[in-house]
Structure 1
């Protein structure tokens, strides 16, 4: 894995980088919103009490058609979330 983020000087640099990715996996950050707004496939990992824009129950959001949401069922329990991400990712790389 190569980390290019030290080279980013503006948010435009981030947008250009995100635009070149096949998939963005992130927590609720500006990158989640940027990637979704750019229409890039985006998997967003959400804690048990997410920001209101993500809603409460769905794996999709009306704001970003390319986003899939992975939610904690219990606060602080990331392992089940990461297990679902790993399973879905394994289906993509076969």
Structure 2
């Protein structure tokens, strides 16, 4: 599922991989996005309003952070005092490839225990 709004949604049209469900054509504001999030088991995002909204709603959220992350996330660790339900995956280099591999491994493990 994608929670992406506006122009980046156009990139989904060209996607050739696994089908992506995109409910955002019916979304008009953050309240609509929040309603969708309330029904999700896990939200994975980069440092955008999506991550902040999920954290503010106390939804389980994994945030992929750039190597030169915003000051609010600190310099290390997987957690933040801002959002107790957030897990931070920190890129250690300018490429997202290694950190996305970490997210993939963590997601596979999470799926094993999901609703267990």
If the length of structure 2 is used for normalisation, what is the TM-score?
0.77
User: Cα distance, 1:27 vs. partner?
Assistant: 0.3
Greater relative contact order (CA < 8 Å, ≥ 6 in sequence): 1
* SS state at 2:21 partner: coil
Where does residue 63 of structure 2 map in the other structure?
44
Where does residue 80 of structure 2 map in the other structure?
61
If the length of structure 1 is used for normalisation, what is the TM-score?
0.94
Where does residue 105 of structure 2 map in the other structure?
87
- Which consecutive segments of 4 or more residues in structure 1 shift more than 6 A? none
Where does residue 9 of structure 1 map in the other structure?
28
Q: What is the Cα-based RMSD across aligned positions, in Å?
A: 0.8
Q: Note the residue ranges of structure 2 that are not aligned, 5 or more in a row.
A: 1-19
Cα distance per residue 1:32-86 (max 9 Å; x no partner): 00100111110000111111111111110001000000111112x1111111101
Distance 1:91 1:74 in 2: 24
